[in-house]
A = this chain, B = another copy of it.
Amino acid sequence: MTEIEKTLDNKSIRPTAMRILIYKFMAGKKTAVALTDIENAFEKAERTTLYRTLKTFEEKGIAHQIDDGTNISKFALCQPGCNCEIDQDLHLHFHCSQCDKTICLTEHKIPHINLPSGYIAEDVNLVIKGICDSCSEH
């Protein structure tokens, strides 16, 4: 049993060939991926399978969904410090308007916000748009 298979198994996700491939693909990326990204990377793969795989990953808590403002859902594997499903200790995301990549800034936590009375926060999403480090070099 490989490391990836163990990871999936721990979260009771059956480690099928497809899922392992997708996991590897996501792990190799520094950026969040959209459904289309994976679809293009694996020409043989069915969109539905990818769609449901990502949903599964998210539901089981090994990946989180990111809305970067492009109206395209992106996904990223949870890093060791990522407690996205447990508490509000959420990191923020950066979307580069030049290379169109979305990056998890895992060490940057979202500061606590005081809401007006009556409002109950369940999830916080903070996306900063701008130019990423590799694009700003040029």
Q: Which residues of A contact B (CB under 8 A)?
A: 67, 69, 71-73, 92, 94, 97, 105, 108, 110-111, 113-134, 136-137
What 3 pairs across the A-B complex have the smallest Cβ distances?
A118-B133, A122-B130, A123-B129
A71 touching B69, Cβ below 8 Å: no
Given contacts A69-B125, A97-B122, A115-B128, 16 further A-B contacts (CB under 8 A): A67-B67, A67-B127, A108-B114, A118-B132, A118-B134, A119-B130, A119-B131, A119-B133, A119-B136, A120-B136, A121-B129, A123-B129, A123-B130, A125-B125, A125-B127, A126-B127
14 pairs, CB–CB < 8 Å, chain A vs chain B: A69-B125, A92-B113, A94-B115, A108-B113, A108-B116, A113-B128, A117-B133, A118-B136, A122-B131, A123-B128, A123-B129, A124-B127, A124-B128, A125-B129
Instruction: Please indicate the chain B residues that have their CB under 8 angstroms from the CB of A113 in the complex.
Output: 92, 108, 111, 126, 128
Instruction: Please indicate the chain B residues that have their CB under 8 angstroms from the CB of A124 in the complex.
Output: 126-129
* A37, chain B: closest CB distance, angstroms: 16
Q: Complex: how many Å from CA A17 to CA B128?
A: 37
B94 touching A119, Cβ below 8 Å: yes
